[in-house]
């Protein structure tokens, strides 16, 4: 039975032996699976009026220019065209579209339409019309005169460049420590111990730079939003978003209208992966609807998603790793240069993770760490949030450096890690001084090495016909929320017939959070998950939640859910006790009835539900809210076996083994699919998802025809298993799973390729050409066309 | 231009633009399972059956479909339901946006080849992109469905969870 | 995207040919590439009703209609028995089954795309095309025709003069455009290697000197090197010229090894 004890503050604790969990840890299907698998209309474009206005954007062909004139007369005459807006028509107050808690760390550097266009694809005009054909025709007829300016495309030359990306006076920021007049959005340093001194004492120092490109999330449902004026005259936005509450604020800020005038809602979402943690498109249809008072929708094309949405921050991470001959890692110096592109969404925050969520992996015997970074503006597509959020970039660099160290010292990479990794109970100076209260990383490594047959597969094997087999590995960590910032809430309501409603502001983007949160509530309420209907997310109906990002939903909203369920349980007991004419202390609740602990009498939940609607003052809908002072890291290890064709440079992935410590997996099957999906994205980023620019700053990989994401023929066999740990600060011992899973493929594959070829690759993607040519010619380099040779 | 199409068994005559594609016709007639995920014929989200063959409805001009039979997931519910529960059991549905396309293509695959090997499954479905799952759970689901019809064939139903403090057995108790 | 004003399902080749003489009209293939065009077309000419979706075989040749789908090339038994599966191999990496069900042989050839897998195998096999107006042409001549030629591709003819053919391609990702395509055929006249996606249009290199009269490791290497030397390679976003040249040698060599292995197998059977 459940014992409730008051913890610190008002938080009460759920005490049940984990062996007795009946819902947490169970593989139940997602609540929406039937609807999704049978193709029911549940996405934005399925549920909005088919005859609403269609909105599209005219986009700049130049990376940097001033809009001198926009001729719209001919376009406006196209039958069916409702409105055309240019920079002259929109509010002049800058705003921020990053979905972050106010005051956002990201700068206020955007206008709905700006006279200055800062990257290829920046919007120049908004066109709204009755149908797509008319709008397309109007777009072709608009003539724009640009004053073309010199762009700064190379992020290594952006700092103090003569070309200024944001010269405007009304640029503002709440969280930046950079200097916008130097194209510097952010600079940060975090040092523990004397890095230089200890590096100078080390036998070996590995020093290189590693680069991750502006990879695309590749969500299947493109960016989209619908807006209408509701029956109260307010702006109602239905968006494919992870962040309804932030969307409300962003729209209100962009339009200069009161937040109370905006309602934001999400239906089912066709994938997010962080892309939809930025309000990429919402302000445009919102502006059209606010001006015309007519319903409209904006659906991004795949090309727009590939070229002008919110990809990963391109980063160059330089690591200096100092170690002794016995493999003891003593000091790490990590510097990151991050490219935020034309606008600063998530620029100041992603970069931090490249250090803070990489360095603590080697807390073991490490005496000193330094993390420093610069984030620069350039005239390319603005970056945003993508699963991993900077940690991916930092871990690629650090894990590659550790693999290089192992190879240099002729040590087994597994062994070198067992010597140096963070272990349960360790204090982590480089991780905001938090302690690793739940850490099974050591068990993960042993378990994975065992599953993978590391001892047999690590040696390179010649298969004949030019083919060799080789293996590589990498570790990863992440966080479980933004500590002291993220807010998660859950409302639980007892209804007729003894069933429950759960209202959340977190956004299930296919990950299954509706289901796992219901599992948590069902655990506390001793009911089946089917007894709980979930609704989310809608700013008018959901309790406040920062949204689904930063790996926080299971951990933060999960705790709110647990607490709401505990409170509701108490209230149910109170009503039951009243009906049994005794004190609440004398009764208990088993999910079906409230009963006297010393006696025969009981009253059913159905009767309590009925009673709650007659002459009742005890609420049966309760809301709990939670924020966490810590962000406990999940940990994982990935090991990959490849077959590499030394005559063509082709790679085939044969086996990918991963073992993850995400605390207690609430729904192991859903956690497994999260991991497999993240590993798949990581493989794509490592092997072929490229982003290249021409000399004018235009992206070549602008479609799924040119930007290749993995198909099911490219994945090999992925096997994911879990080592559990119990995180005391998490509900039911949980930590996060959503983001960490993308971090191991790039370093593990680079490692395996080195084993097969003798060449380290430090820039993704590792294409067959790159692999073969660098084997034949160590000086071979791929061409970066945006870089001007001086 | 007037076209007549048998959509999910129902004959529909409609006046449409000459350059409409089958995808938009299906959605116009409330078959919202048919999705658009790209403009280049690469994603497979818009898959429908045209005279029984799986095609990309984004690339079929409506005139070419006129006089023919089109089936979308809306019209294949019973056939899909036979195996879709196996996908739900794995959590292989995830965001769901690509589901209709691959479910329709699985219907086509199983009609053509009722007992495919893993390799045949992967090849037949390779034109159906999915970004959430990494595809493994989809293969497990279909394999579980096919194996469920065979005696003593293995099923992979739950992820492996180990724990030093909990032990392997707790989950199954 | 892909706008046009009118759709006509032609009742005869003559009608289609007539309509096609107007500059902004076009013949529908699979509509996979044309739909990406931004500027609107005039009339779309559909040849669906003209029975061009058949593969016919007689003693001398295969006749493949312009509207035969790439999927049909992949699954057609006669064609794949004759080529030991080379046709299936040449198309199975193209996007997916649903794509190949709409993509047509005619569309793939008419566009004269550098990346075309089928162009490569047809060239190696010495295929001819039948145009409505110009009649039957060698593929080698067809590819030299001006692109604005307003004729209609009716069918592709593959003479049964191929003793063996092997198809190989190099791709960065399993269903991507090829980085290089290669078909090596042993024809009555001798060995020929067609290499495409260079990224230019596939071209043939014949073993004019009879290097392969005696097939061994050395002659195979020599011929592969000769092919790589004769072809003009270029660079695009998928790979550079230098890489393509190396891969070309590897694929020609591997294709020849396969031909030798297959032939040996057959001789043993006899």
DSSP for A626-641 reads E--S--PPPEEEEEEE
Question: What pLDDT, in 10s, does the model give residues A705-753?
Answer: 999 999 999 999 999 999 999 999 999 999 999 999 999 999 999 999 9
Cis amide linkage into residue B56, ω under 30° from 0: no
d(CA A583, CA A574) in angstroms, rounded, equals: 8
First vs last Cα of chain B: how many Å apart?
64
pLDDT band at A3, cuts 50/70/90? Answer: very low
Local confidence pLDDT in tens for the 173 residues of chain B: 999 999 999 999 999 999 999 999 999 999 999 999 999 999 999 999 999 999 999 999 999 999 999 999 999 999 999 999 999 999 999 999 999 999 999 999 999 999 999 999 999 999 999 999 999 999 999 999 999 999 999 999 999 998 755 544 433 33
Question: Is the Cα torsion angle A406, A410, A414, A415 positive or negative in sign?
Answer: negative
pLDDT band at A10, cuts 50/70/90? Answer: very low
Question: What pLDDT, in 10s, does the model give residues C190-235?
Answer: 999 999 999 999 999 999 999 999 999 999 999 999 999 999 999 9
Extract the residue ranges of chain C whose pLDDT is less than 50.
267-270
Beta bridge partners of A656: A640, A718
Whether B79 and B68 map to the same domain: the answer is no
| Interface-testing mutation among C97, C173, C176, with chain B (most B C-beta atoms within 10 A) | C97
pLDDT band at A465, cuts 50/70/90? Answer: confident
Radius of gyration of chain B (CA): 19
3-state secondary structure A245-268: HHHHHHHHHHHCCCHHHEEEECCE
Question: Looking at the predicted structure, is the pLDDT value of residue A647 above 90?
Answer: yes
Question: Is the Cα torsion angle A166, A172, A177, A179 positive or negative in sign?
Answer: positive
Under 8 Å between Cβ of B69 and B52: yes
Q: Does domain C55-269 have CATH number 3.30.230.10?
A: no
> What is the second-level CATH architecture of the domain A46-149+223-299?
Alpha-Beta Complex (3.90)
Q: Could you say which of A39, A269, A679 has the minimum Cβ distance to residue B103?
A: A39
Determine if the pTM surpasses 0.95: yes
> What is the second-level CATH architecture of the domain A314-480+631-776?
2-Layer Sandwich (3.30)
- Interface touch B42/C174, C-beta < 8 Å: no
Under 8 Å between Cβ of A181 and A206: no
The predicted structure's pLDDT at residue A782: 85
Q: Does A682 touch chain B (CB under 8 A)?
A: no
Question: Looking at the predicted structure, is the pLDDT value of residue A1 above 60?
Answer: no
Question: Looking at the predicted structure, is the pLDDT value of residue A790 above 80?
Answer: no
- Interface touch B60/C31, C-beta < 8 Å: yes
Beta bridge partners of A413: none
d(CA A767, CA A690) in angstroms, rounded, equals: 9
- The stretch A248-259 carries a mean pLDDT of 98
The predicted structure's pLDDT at residue C1: 65
The predicted structure's pLDDT at residue A219: 98
Contacting B residues, span 14-53, partner chain C, CB-CB under 8 Å:
18-19, 21, 39-42, 44, 47, 50, 53
Whether B65 and B98 map to the same domain: the answer is no
Size of interface A-B (CB pairs under 8 A): 236
Which of 3.30.365.10, 3.40.50.720, 3.40.50.10860, 3.10.580.10 would CATH assign to domain A3-30+482-626?
A: 3.30.365.10
Count up the domains in chain B and report the number: 2
* Domain-terminating residue out of B16, B40, B72: B72
Residue B84 structural domain: 75-148
Under 8 Å between Cβ of A117 and A43: no
Whose tokens are 């969870």? That residue is B161
Residue C7 φ/ψ, nearest 5 degrees = -125, 130
Question: What pLDDT, in 10s, does the model give residues A539-564?
Answer: 999 999 999 999 999 999 999 999 99
Angle at A346 between CA A341 and CA A351, to 5 degrees: 85
Residues of A in contact with B127 (CB under 8 A): 711
Q: Could you say which of A648, A690, A713 has the minimum Cβ distance to residue C250?
A: A648
The predicted structure's pLDDT at residue C268: 43
Residue A15: Cβ within 10 Å count: 10
The predicted structure's pLDDT at residue A492: 98
CA distances from A29 to A404, A525, A547 (A): 43, 19, 23
Residues of B in contact with A134 (CB under 8 A): none
Going by their DSSP bridges, the two strands A314-323 and A329-341 should be labelled as antiparallel
Angle at B102 between CA B96 and CA B108, to 5 degrees: 150
Under 8 Å between Cβ of A333 and A323: no
The predicted structure's pLDDT at residue B164: 56
Report the SS3 class of residue B6: strand
Domain boundaries, given as residue ranges, for chain C: 4-45, 55-269
* Domain-terminating residue out of B72, B91, B122: B72
Residue B31 belongs to a domain with what CATH number?
3.10.20.30
Report the share of chain A in percent with pLDDT over 90: 95
Whether B82 and B143 map to the same domain: the answer is yes
- Mark out chain C residues that contact chain A at CB-CB < 8 A: 1, 3, 38, 96, 170, 172-177, 179, 237-240, 242-243, 246-247, 250
Residue A673 φ/ψ, nearest 5 degrees = -65, -35
Q: Report the gap between the CA of B11 and the closest CA in chain C (Å).
A: 20
For B127-146, b where at least 16 C-beta lie within 10 A, e where not — what string?
bbbbbbbbbbbbbbbbbbbb
The predicted structure's pLDDT at residue A444: 96
Residue B120 belongs to a domain with what CATH number?
1.10.150.120
CA distances from A602 to A571, A585, A589, A614, B112 (A): 16, 14, 9, 19, 59
Q: Which of A146-160, A297-311, A762-776, C20-34 has the lowest mean pLDDT?
A: C20-34
Residue A239: Cβ within 10 Å count: 28
Domain boundaries, given as residue ranges, for chain A: 3-30+482-626, 46-149+223-299, 314-480+631-776
> What strand order describes the sheet that includes A499-504?
A532-535, A499-504, A488-495, A621-626
The predicted structure's pLDDT at residue A640: 98
Under 8 Å between Cβ of A555 and A733: no
For A708-742, b where at least 16 C-beta lie within 10 A, e where not — what string?
bbbbbbbbbebbbbbbbbbbebbbbbbbbbbbbbb
Under 8 Å between Cβ of A679 and A658: yes
Under 8 Å between Cβ of A506 and A536: yes
Question: What pLDDT, in 10s, does the model give residues A121-136?
Answer: 999 999 999 999 999 9
Q: Report the gap between the CA of C247 and the closest CA in chain A (Å).
A: 6
What mean pLDDT is reported for chain A? 96
3-state secondary structure A353-384: HHHHCCHHHHCCCCCEEEEEEEEEECCCCCCC
Residue B42 lies in a domain: yes
Question: Looking at the predicted structure, is the pLDDT value of residue A182 above 70?
Answer: yes
> What strand order describes the sheet that includes A593-596?
A587-589, A593-596, A602-604
Q: Does B90 touch chain C (CB under 8 A)?
A: no
- Interface touch A220/B73, C-beta < 8 Å: no
Going by their DSSP bridges, the two strands A235-239 and A262-265 should be labelled as parallel
Q: Closest Cα to residue A670, out of A591, A727, A734? A: A734
Q: Which two tokens stand for residue A145?
A: 């005169």
Residue B80 lies in a domain: yes
Residue B86 lies in a domain: yes
Angle at A435 between CA A429 and CA A439, to 5 degrees: 120
The predicted structure's pLDDT at residue B67: 97
Q: Report the gap between the CA of B108 and the closest CA in chain A (Å).
A: 15
- Interface touch A688/C237, C-beta < 8 Å: no
Whose tokens are 């067609």? That residue is C194
The predicted structure's pLDDT at residue A7: 38
Whose tokens are 């998660």? That residue is A488
Residues of A in contact with C179 (CB under 8 A): 768-769
Question: Looking at the predicted structure, is the pLDDT value of residue A157 above 90?
Answer: yes
The predicted structure's pLDDT at residue B167: 42
Whether B124 and B106 map to the same domain: the answer is yes
- Give kind and range of the element (H or E) at residue A320: strand A314-323
Angle at C191 between CA C187 and CA C195, to 5 degrees: 105
- Intrachain domains A46-149+223-299 and A314-480+631-776 with the same fold: no
């Amino acid at each position: 039975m459940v014992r409730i004890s008051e913890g610190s503050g008002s938080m009460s604790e759920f005490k049940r032996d984990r062996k007795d969990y009946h819902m947490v840890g169970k593989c139940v299907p997602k609540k929406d699976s039937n609807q999704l698998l049978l193709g029911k209309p549940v996405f934005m474009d399925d549920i909005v009026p088919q005859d609403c206005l269609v909105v599209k954007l005219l986009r700049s062909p130049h990376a940097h220019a001033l809009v001198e004139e926009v001729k719209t007369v001919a376009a406006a005459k196209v039958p069916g065209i409702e409105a055309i807006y240019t920079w002259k028509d929109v509010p002049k107050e800058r705003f921020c579209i990053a979905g972050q808690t106010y005051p956002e760390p990201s700068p206020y550097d955007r206008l709905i339409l700006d006279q200055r266009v800062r990257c290829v694809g920046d919007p120049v005009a908004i066109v709204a019309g009755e149908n797509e054909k008319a709008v397309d025709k109007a777009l072709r007829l608009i003539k724009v005169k640009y004053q073309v300016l010199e762009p700064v495309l190379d992020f290594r030359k952006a700092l103090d460049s003569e070309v200024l990306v944001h010269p405007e006076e009304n640029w503002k920021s709440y969280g930046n420590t950079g200097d916008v007049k130097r194209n510097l959005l952010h600079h940060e340093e975090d040092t523990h111990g004397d890095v230089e001194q200890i590096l100078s004492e080390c036998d070996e120092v590995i020093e290189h730079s590693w680069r991750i490109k502006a990879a695309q999330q590749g969500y299947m449902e493109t960016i989209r939003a619908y807006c209408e004026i509701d029956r109260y005259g307010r702006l109602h936005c239905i968006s494919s978003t992870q962040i309804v509450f932030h969307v409300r604020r962003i729209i209100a800020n962009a339009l200069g209208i009161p937040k109370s005038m905006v309602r934001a809602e999400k239906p089912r979402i066709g994938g997010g992966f962080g892309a939809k943690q930025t309000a990429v498109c919402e302000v445009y249809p919102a502006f059209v609807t606010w001006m015309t008072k007519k319903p409209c929708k904006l659906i991004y094309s795949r090309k727009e998603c590939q070229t002008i949405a919110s990809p990963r921050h391109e980063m160059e991470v330089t690591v200096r790793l100092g170690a002794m001959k016995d493999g003891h890692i003593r000091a790490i110096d990590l510097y990151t240069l991050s490219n935020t592109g034309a606008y600063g969404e998530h620029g100041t925050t992603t970069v931090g993770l490249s250090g803070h969520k990489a360095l603590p992996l080697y807390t073991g015997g490490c005496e000193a760490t330094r993390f420093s970074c610069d984030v620069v503006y350039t005239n390319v597509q603005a970056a945003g949030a993508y699963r991993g959020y900077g940690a991916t970039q930092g871990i690629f660099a650090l894990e590659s450096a550790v693999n290089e160290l192992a190879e240099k010292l002729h040590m087994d990479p597994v062994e070198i890690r067992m010597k140096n990794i963070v272990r349960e109970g360790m204090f982590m100076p480089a991780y905001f001084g938090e302690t690793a209260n739940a850490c099974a990383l050591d068990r993960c490594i042993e378990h994975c090495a065992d599953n993978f047959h590391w001892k047999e597969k690590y040696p390179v094997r010649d298969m004949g016909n030019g083919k060799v087999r080789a293996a590589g590995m990498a570790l990863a960590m992440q966080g479980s929320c933004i500590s002291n910032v993220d807010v998660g809430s859950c409302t639980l309501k007892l209804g007729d017939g003894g069933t429950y409603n759960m209202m959340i502001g977190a956004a299930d983007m296919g990950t299954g959070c509706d289901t796992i949160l219901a599992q948590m509530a069902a655990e506390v309420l001793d009911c089946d998950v089917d007894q709980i209907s979930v609704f989310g997310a809608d700013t008018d109906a959901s309790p406040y939640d920062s949204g689904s990002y930063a790996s926080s939903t299971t951990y933060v909203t999960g705790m709110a859910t647990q607490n709401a369920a505990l409170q509701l349980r108490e209230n149910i007991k109170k009503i039951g006790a009243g009906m049994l004419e005794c004190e609440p202390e004398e009764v208990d609740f088993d999910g079906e009835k409230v009963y006297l602990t010393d006696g025969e009498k009981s009253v059913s939940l159905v009767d309590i539900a009925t009673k709650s609607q007659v002459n009742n003052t005890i609420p049966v809908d309760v809301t709990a809210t939670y924020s966490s002072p810590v962000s406990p890291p999940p940990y994982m290890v990935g090991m990959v076996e490849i077959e590499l064709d030394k005559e063509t440079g082709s790679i085939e992935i044969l086996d990918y083994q991963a073992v993850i410590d995400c605390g207690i997996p609430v729904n192991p099957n859903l956690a497994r699919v999260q991991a497999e999906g993240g590993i798949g994205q990581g493989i794509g980023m490592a092997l072929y998802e490229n982003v290249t620019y021409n000399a004018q700053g235009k992206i070549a990989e602008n479609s799924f025809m040119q930007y290749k994401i993995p198909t099911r023929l490219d994945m090999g066999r992925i096997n994911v298993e879990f080592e559990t740990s119990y995180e005391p600060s998490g509900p039911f011992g949980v930590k996060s799973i959503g983001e960490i899973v993308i971090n191991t493929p790039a370093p593990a594959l680079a490692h395996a390729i080195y084993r097969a070829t003798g060449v380290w690759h430090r820039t993704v993607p590792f294409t067959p050409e790159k692999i073969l040519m660098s084997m034949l010619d160590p000086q071979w380099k791929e061409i970066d066309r945006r870089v001007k040779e001086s | 231009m007037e076209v007549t199409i048998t959509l999910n068994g129902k004959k529909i005559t409609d006046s449409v633009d000459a350059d409409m594609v089958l995808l938009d016709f299906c959605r116009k007639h409330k078959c919202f399972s048919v999705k658009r995920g790209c403009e280049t014929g690469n994603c497979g989200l818009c898959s429908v059956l045209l005279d029984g063959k799986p095609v990309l409805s984004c690339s079929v001009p409506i005139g070419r479909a006129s006089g023919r039979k089109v089936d979308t997931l809306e019209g294949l519910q019973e056939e899909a339901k036979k195996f879709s529960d196996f996908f739900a059991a794995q959590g292989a549905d995830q965001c769901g946006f690509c589901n209709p396309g691959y479910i329709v293509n699985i219907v086509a695959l199983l009609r053509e080849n009722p007992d495919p090997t893993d390799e045949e499954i992967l090849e037949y479905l390779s034109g159906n992109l999915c970004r959430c799952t990494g595809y493994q759970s989809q293969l497990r689901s279909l394999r579980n469905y096919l194996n469920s019809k065979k005696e003593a064939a293995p099923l992979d139903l739950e992820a492996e969870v180990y724990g030093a403090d909990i032990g392997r057995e707790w989950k199954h108790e | 995207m892909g706008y046009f004003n009118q759709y006509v399902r032609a009742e005869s080749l003559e009608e289609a040919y007539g309509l096609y003489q107007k500059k902004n009209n076009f013949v529908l293939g699979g509509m996979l590439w044309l739909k990406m065009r931004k500027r609107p077309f005039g009339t779309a000419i559909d040849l669906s009703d003209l029975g061009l979706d058949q593969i016919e075989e007689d003693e001398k040749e295969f006749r493949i209609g312009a509207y035969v789908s790439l999927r049909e090339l992949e699954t057609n038994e006669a064609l794949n028995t004759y080529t030991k599966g080379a046709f299936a191999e040449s198309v199975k990496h193209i996007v997916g089954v649903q794509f190949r069900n709409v993509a047509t042989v005619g569309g793939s050839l008419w566009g004269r795309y550098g990346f075309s897998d089928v162009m490569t195998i047809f060239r190696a096999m010495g295929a001819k095309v039948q145009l409505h107006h110009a009649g039957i042409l060698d593929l080698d001549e067809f590819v030299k025709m001006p692109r604005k030629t307003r004729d209609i591709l009716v069918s592709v003819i593959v003479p049964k003069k191929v003793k063996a053919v092997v198809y190989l391609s190099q791709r960065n990702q399993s269903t991507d455009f090829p980085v290089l395509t290669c078909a090596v055929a042993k024809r009555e006249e001798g060995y020929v290697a067609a290499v495409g996606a260079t990224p230019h249009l596939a071209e043939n290199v014949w073993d004019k000197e009879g290097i392969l009269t005696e097939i061994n490791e050395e002659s195979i290497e020599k011929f592969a090197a000769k092919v790589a030397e004769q072809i003009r390679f270029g660079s695009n976003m998928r790979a550079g010229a230098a890489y393509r040249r190396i891969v070309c040698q590897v694929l020609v060599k591997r294709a020849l090894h396969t031909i030798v292995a297959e032939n040996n197998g057959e001789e043993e059977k006899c």
